[in-house]
């Protein structure tokens, strides 16, 4: 739409890509603002792109202008020019052979109280579409074929919506009441907004006065025998860390969602990063292990948080779920599951009886303690953040007991590996290169790896959902490839973890710009690593 936008985003366009430019904005003043010495539309610098330089501002004004000469204009010139985005959208709809009806209906609903704006945007959208249809300067339309999706009923879902729906589904499956407590923080806030609309499913929401109170309320809900959950971003996770430690010490099932954003401090509140992995794994004082999962796409947020609830209840532990800013607002088709097909989430409650007193820290073969509801006769027990005596749960300062409990809590988390799937590999089971990722980098990595495979390269892809503990076959998978490449939107946190835990010489591709990976960035790094190795 202007020279500054071209300069900023041209690097995102592949060679041979289609570039649509509002030619009317490329005059001397705008070129100077963007730092251009010559006009890029004329100097050959856009060679290699399929360029359509259209007078969008002029065409939009002609389309929107009042058709009755002499009558007062219904919209100001500034309001008319705002409509040019719809002109450009109509042009793109033609390019990708998309129908206008859904957007025209949306315009009617959105601007129902302002008929002049409604009509202007309707004209702009249709004019852009017909311009693409009639101009000879436009490249041929791009046909996007149907995606090979499994049969079922689909809806569009964002990552934050999927998190909310996953929590509700898990609560309904387990039969547990859900308390969601949160303090508003971007980009996690609308998880609270969505859950507040679902009270008819037994959801209770609580907007706390701060992050610490929200975490305390979630821990309290779990102590009371319900499902406690909270969501935040990086700064809020820092404030929640002490109360997460309380949940670890008390061994209570709590879900803590971190929708990551740029940091540190307030950082980049509306930009995405993967910089909270170490905080999720280690960001608490003392030996304080907790399970950590990461969603890989907006729709996968549903399955990931549902699985987090299953593991939290089965193993009596807080579980941290990592999302990010792109997943939070990104959307994709989601196949609505049949509730009967969802994995069961059994809740086991102890019962009183017998001559021996109730032992709140008496463990089963997985080191999991019982989950007793307060007030149940015969199941009275202590709770709190002080160290517990093994078995009885009484406060204990005995040094050997403390070490035993520290090791027991760590072993309990480690044994979750027996309750999760093995690490899957997309591609050859051995070869030159394994590209390893986690979280929201999935789409870019998967696409880059498949392009490399099509080009004949020996490369495969493995993506971690389970980050603590990692799948039990992780060492075997990593050892079957000559090189391991780890693309991350941080300075190399998973790479360091893999190096220290599995003693592999992993190579990093790291980007900390508040922006996701482009496919070609990963594809180029794949070629570089393989060529260096050979």
Say what the pLDDT of residue 235 is: 97
CB 197 within 8 A of CB 263: no
Task: Give the chain's length.
Answer: 534
Pairing of strands 291-294, 319-324: parallel
Could you tell me the sign of the dihedral formed by the alpha carbons of 463, 467, 471, 472, in that order?
A: positive
CB 357 within 8 A of CB 348: no
- In terms of domains, do 126 and 164 share one? no
Map residue 340 onto helix, strand or coil: helix
Say what the pLDDT of residue 382 is: 85
Residue 495, burial from CB neighbour count under 10 angstroms (0-12, 13-18, 19+): buried
Residue 406 clears pLDDT 60, i.e. is over it: yes
CB 334 within 8 A of CB 154: yes
Domain boundary among 102, 134, 166: 134
Say what the pLDDT of residue 16 is: 85
Domain boundary among 292, 320, 341: 341
Say what the pLDDT of residue 140 is: 66
* DSSP assigned state of 161: H
Q: What is the CATH number of the domain that holds 455?
A: 3.40.50.920
* Residue 354 domain-assigned (yes or no): no
Average confidence (pLDDT) over 265-276? 95
Could you tell me the sign of the dihedral formed by the alpha carbons of 508, 511, 515, 519, in that order?
A: negative
- In terms of domains, do 250 and 317 share one? yes
Residue 290 clears pLDDT 70, i.e. is over it: yes
Q: What is the CATH number of the domain that holds 162?
A: 3.40.50.970
- In terms of domains, do 240 and 273 share one? yes
Residue 356 clears pLDDT 90, i.e. is over it: no
- Model confidence at 383, pLDDT cuts 50, 70, 90, reads confident
Say what the pLDDT of residue 133 is: 87
- In terms of domains, do 326 and 200 share one? yes
Which run of H or of E encompasses 460? Answer: strand 459-464
Domain boundary among 341, 361, 387: 341
CB 276 within 8 A of CB 310: no
CB count in 10 Å sphere of residue 149 = 9
Residue 521, burial from CB neighbour count under 10 angstroms (0-12, 13-18, 19+): middle
Distances (CA, A) of 375 to 313, 362, 379, 395: 20, 19, 7, 20
Distance of CA 97 to the CA centre of its chain: 29
Q: For residues 295 and 302, what is the distance between their CA atoms, to the nearest angstrom?
A: 8
Q: For residues 379 and 499, what is the distance between their CA atoms, to the nearest angstrom?
A: 45
Query: CA gyration radius for the chain?
Result: 28
Say what the pLDDT of residue 5 is: 95
Residue among 352, 367, 356 at smallest CA distance from 404: 367
- In terms of domains, do 18 and 101 share one? yes
Map residue 376 onto helix, strand or coil: coil
Say what the pLDDT of residue 14 is: 83
CB 438 within 8 A of CB 444: no
* Residue 325 domain-assigned (yes or no): yes
Q: pLDDT digit string (tens) for 36-46?
A: 999 999 999 99
Phi/psi-derived region of residue 319, left when phi > 0, alpha when psi is between -120 and 50, beta in every other case: beta
Q: pLDDT digit string (tens) for 410-459?
A: 999 999 999 999 999 999 999 999 999 999 999 999 999 999 999 999 99
- In terms of domains, do 167 and 99 share one? no
* Residue 281 domain-assigned (yes or no): yes
* 112 phi, psi to nearest 5 deg: -60, -30
Tell me the percentage of the chain whose pLDDT exceeds 70.
97
Residue among 172, 192, 189, 193 at smallest CA distance from 181: 192
List the beta bridge partners of residue 387.
none
- In terms of domains, do 258 and 192 share one? yes
- In terms of domains, do 127 and 19 share one? yes
- In terms of domains, do 189 and 250 share one? yes
Distances (CA, A) of 131 to 81, 126, 195, 297, 499: 17, 9, 43, 36, 56
Residue 222, burial from CB neighbour count under 10 angstroms (0-12, 13-18, 19+): buried
- In terms of domains, do 115 and 193 share one? no
Domain count along the chain: 3
List the beta bridge partners of residue 158.
331
Distance of CA 528 to the CA centre of its chain: 28
What is the full DSSP assignment across 161-227?
HHHHHHHHHHHHHHT--EEEEE---TTTHHHHHHHHTTGGGTEEEEE-SSHHHHHHHHHHHHHTTSE
Q: State which residues form the domain around 31.
A: 3-134
Residue among 273, 282, 278, 221 at smallest CA distance from 252: 221
Residue 144 clears pLDDT 90, i.e. is over it: no
Provide the whole-model pTM.
Answer: 0.90
């Amino acid at each position: 739409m202007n020279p500054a936008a071209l300069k900023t985003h041209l690097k995102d366009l592949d060679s041979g890509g289609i570039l649509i430019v509002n030619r009317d904005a490329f005059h001397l003043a705008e070129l100077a603002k963007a730092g251009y010495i010559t006009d890029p539309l004329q100097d050959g610098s856009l060679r290699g792109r399929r360029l359509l330089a259209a007078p969008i501002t002029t065409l939009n004004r002609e389309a929107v202008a009042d058709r009755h000469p002499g009558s007062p204009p219904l919209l100001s010139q500034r309001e008319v020019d705002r409509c040019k985005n719809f002109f450009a959208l109509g042009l793109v709809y033609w390019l990708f052979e998309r129908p206008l009806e859904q957007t025209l209906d949306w315009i009617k609903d959105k601007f129902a109280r302002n008929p002049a704006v409604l009509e202007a945007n309707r004209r702009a959208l249709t004019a852009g579409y017909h311009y693409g249809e009639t101009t000879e300067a436009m490249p041929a339309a791009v046909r996007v074929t149907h995606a090979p999706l499994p049969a079922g009923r689909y809806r569009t879902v964002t990552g934050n919506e999927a998190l909310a729906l996953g929590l509700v589904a898990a609560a309904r499956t387990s039969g547990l009441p859900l308390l969601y407590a949160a303090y508003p923080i971007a980009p996690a806030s609308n998880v609270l907004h969505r859950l507040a609309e679902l009270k008819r499913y037994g959801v209770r929401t609580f907007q706390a006065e701060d992050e610490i109170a929200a975490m305390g309320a979630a821990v309290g809900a779990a102590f009371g025998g319900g499902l406690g959950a909270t969501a935040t971003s990086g700064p809020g996770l820092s404030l929640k860390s002490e109360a997460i430690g309380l949940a670890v010490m008390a061994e209570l099932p709590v879900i803590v969602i971190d929708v990551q954003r740029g940091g540190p401090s307030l950082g980049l509140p509306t930009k995405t990063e993967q910089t909270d992995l170490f905080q999720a794994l280690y960001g608490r004082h003392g030996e304080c292990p907790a399970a950590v999962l990461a969603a890989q796409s907006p729709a996968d947020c549903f399955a990931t948080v549902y699985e987090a609830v299953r593991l939290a209840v089965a193993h009596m532990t807080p579980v941290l779920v990592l999302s990010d800013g792109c997943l939070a607002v990104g959307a994709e088709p989601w196949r609505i599951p049949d509730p009967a097909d969802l994995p069961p989430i059994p809740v086991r409650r102890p019962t009183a009886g017998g001559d021996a007193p109730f032992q709140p820290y008496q463990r089963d073969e997985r080191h999991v303690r019982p989950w007793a509801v307060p007030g149940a006769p015969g199941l009275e027990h202590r709770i709190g953040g002080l160290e517990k005596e093994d078995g009885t749960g009484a406060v204990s300062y005995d040094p050997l007991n403390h070490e035993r409990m520290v090791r027991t809590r760590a072993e309990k988390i480690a044994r979750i590996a027996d309750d999760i799937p093995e690490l899957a590999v997309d591609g050859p089971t051995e070869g030159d290169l394994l590209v390893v990722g986690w979280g929201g980098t999935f789409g870019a990595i998967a696409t880059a790896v498949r392009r490399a495979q099509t080009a004949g390269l020996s490369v495969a892809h493995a993506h971690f959902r389970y980050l603590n503990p990692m799948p039990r076959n992780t060492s075997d998978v990593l050892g079957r490839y000559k090189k391991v490449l780890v693309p991350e939107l941080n300075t190399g946190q998973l790479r360091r973890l893999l190096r220290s835990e599995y003693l592999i010489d992993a190579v990093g591709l790291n980007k900390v710009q508040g922006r996701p990976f482009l496919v070609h960035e990963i594809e180029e790094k794949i070629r570089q690593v393989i060529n260096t190795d050979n």
